[in-house]
Structure 1
Amino acid sequence: MTLRTPLCDVLGIEYPIVQAPIGSATCPALAAAVANAGGLGTLAVTWRDGADARSAIRETRELTDAPIGVNVVLDERAKSVATETHIDACLAEDIDVVSFSFGEAAPHVDRVHDAGAVVIETVGSAAEAREAAEAGVDVVVAQGWEAGGHIQSEVATMALVPRVADAVSVPVIAAGGIADGRGIAAALALGADGVWLGTRFLATREANVHDTYRERVAEIDETDTQYTDLFDKGWPGMAHRVVRNGTIERWEDADRPASGRRPGETDVVAEGEGGEQIERYDEALATPDVTGDIEAMALFTGQSAGLTDMTRPAGDIVAELATEASTRIEKLAERLDT
């Protein structure tokens, strides 16, 4: 069977598989590899300035002719570049898909549509999904709390996706805890039209992450992550899921003190390529140019890390996911027929 849903037609892709905008881990090589394999590759542009965003889109375009997307975080606490600057840059480069998260896409929908691009909004409840659809959003992402990185919901994917699917008539993408074909088949059974994978694409050769980070994602179990708001320097108050590490254990041993009284609050644990200092509890992502105590940093990872046990090329992963999901659906149909 062919793994195809209405989402594929909306996004212009072969398979209903989307590479999540995993912050600075996204890069042209990763987005293009996913796109060339038939999924939707996505660039996170929130932490880039306008010129860098345009440059990244151009570089990706040189690597693929397939549709690509960008993600813009709307929460002003997380960014130093105005949302309008990011939208200007992306639309100037004729981007195919613009996804918005951590805020309402409504003020930007008409402008993105006028430029000929598709609008996606990430939601954490059925109510948010209805509001997004009423605002004209083309697709909604239902992000469950199993997801890695920053999280918009405290509801698990299993409970959230059918609620969102019942609430709207636009295509729904399931996010959180999905890393293989079984997860894709399950998401489709819950009413989703596609899937949004972040953790699985962290453990790829193309992901812009430090080797130590990539290795940790591949070696940990589903019980080795933590939902917390501990790494709040740079995005205060926003919940996230990370690998449990020494920073978390040290904080727990100190009886979980509030920000400002945490152990090692001003410790510099690493440095970026330009010499910028990364303190303990920073939300900075461990990219290849970072040096220092990588394992002490926020290693954003979802519970699906337990299903992510090796590093593979991103294109191979897309093909494998599509085949696994199709096979799983066929086997389920056979079982139900007996």
Structure 2
Amino acid sequence: MRVENQSSVSKFLLLGLSRQPQQQHLLFVLFLSMYLATVLGNLLIILAISTDSHLHTPMYFFLSNLSFVDVCFSSTSVPKVLTSHILRSQTISFSGCLTQLYFLIVFANMDSFLLAVMAYDRFVAVCHPLHYTTKMTPQLCALLVAGSWIIANLNALLHTLLMARLSFCADNMIPYFFCDVTSLLRLSCSDTHLNEIMILTEGALILIIPFVCILVSYICITSAVLRVPTTKGRWKAFSTCGSHLAVVLLFYGTIIVLYFNPSSSHSAETDTASTVMYTVVTPMLNPFIYSLRNKDMKEALRKMIAMKIFSVQY
């Protein structure tokens, strides 16, 4: 297979969100605010987990990894939007587009894998609480995260190399504010049959398998919770999964709207809203969902902020 770029198009035009000057200024402030909230919120979660010994458990180990991935995921596309506004240039080079595509796939896959791993962790905690410490060992947790990184990078490398072999001859306008696989395939003037086969087979499995794992885990969790004799006990058992379930619904809901709806139901407004939710809003909301619904996390954040204030004063 030849992987050299035979493209006559050296740059792509990212159409972004709006071409109206008044709206662009507002969107710049909005994106900057959301990006700063994403970075600050997720870094606070990582710091809280790393400094509080009570949070050195598998669940919070996975959560700290998810927060790190969310920062990276948002950083792959949002800084480009901000710099494009400042420099008044919406172009991105072919190599830059492929690089962005690679990291977007890596971090999107990692989000999916980590949500599946966290669902398994909640399944063991709720359905097999007496065996939790023996099953969810530090070695297994590290292996699950390391395996997720390896698979995510191999998957991203495969699709990026397949994209690099295509030719782009005329149209270079991408309707989103980042380089997307489906958008690039539509612009290609060469045979994309192999790319489409890999997306529908290997790519679909990479997305469907974690989703099925999450679904099966929560079916088992729900079944176990319903067997708890008291209402208070049921609520306590299920409340430990509420934050994770909210993030799962938010993440997969936007993916389904963006990629699995019939093309006839798509519109520019719907696609734009979905891409913003998928790449910007979801990473920003994750720390708020976990911190607001989790007493241990709120207590750890409170302690960390109090210690910081005390150290500054004295």
TM-score range, shorter chain: under 0.3
Pick 1 or 2: higher relative contact order, CA cutoff 8 A, min separation 6: 2
Give the structure-2-normalised TM-score.
0.25
Q: Greater share of helix residues, 1 or 2? A: 2
Q: Greater share of strand residues, 1 or 2? A: 1
